[in-house]
């Protein structure tokens, strides 16, 4: 990242960045709590399975404080405006593939991902992109699933051929 904010004017607290601090702090707390459950098995040294998680938790907590401080001073780099819509479509594609994978098989599920990603990037004609995606995924299934023997889940489409 090269966009260092070099404006020397008054900086405002960066609210979005300010949210990062509590997230880090909660992560630290979860790790600390989880490490507390571990039974200390080592007898001859104080070092056990909980040692490193404790160190990591302390580190995260300190970083959370530092983050809050920097965010409050507005030291985070300026962000470019974000378009949410394409992101939502791509995430929907990934979620769709995840949910369809077991029932519809690799080709159809991945075809959905393909079409929705293309949709997010502006190819809105799903009746074109979905068949392309399924066909392409099917070719990938043949190459990787058949020739390279990866265990890709088969669905109705794959069962038609194999």
Distance CA 46, CA 162 (A): 58
Closest distance to another protein from the beta carbon of 160 (Å):
20
First CA to last CA distance, the chain: 48
Query: Within 13 Å and on the Cβ side, how many CA atoms surround 25?
Result: 10
Closest distance to another protein from the beta carbon of 156 (Å):
17
Of the pair 85, 161, the CB lying nearest another protein is at: 85
Residue found under tokens 């702090």: 25
Q: Does residue 71 sit in helix, strand or coil? A: helix
Closest distance to another protein from the beta carbon of 68 (Å):
11
Of the pair 80, 162, the CB lying nearest another protein is at: 80
Of the pair 51, 157, the CB lying nearest another protein is at: 51
């Amino acid at each position: 990242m090269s966009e260092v904010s070099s404006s020397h004017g008054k900086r405002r607290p960066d609210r979005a960045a300010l949210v990062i601090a509590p997230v880090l702090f909660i992560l630290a707390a979860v790790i600390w709590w989880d490490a507390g459950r571990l039974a200390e098995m080592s007898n001859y040294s104080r070092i056990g399975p909980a040692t490193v998680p404790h160190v990591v938790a302390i580190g995260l907590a300190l970083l959370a404080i530092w983050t809050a401080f920097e965010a409050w001073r507005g030291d985070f780099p300026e962000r470019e405006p974000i378009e949410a819509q394409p992101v939502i479509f791509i995430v929907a594609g990934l979620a769709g593939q995840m949910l369809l994978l077991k029932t519809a098989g690799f080709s159809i599920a991945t075809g959905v991902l393909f079409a929705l990603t293309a949709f997010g990037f502006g190819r809105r004609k799903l009746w074109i992109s979905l068949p392309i995606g399924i066909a392409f995924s099917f070719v990938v299934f043949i190459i990787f699933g058949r020739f390279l023997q990866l265990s890709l889940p088969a669905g109705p489409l794959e069962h038609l051929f194999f």
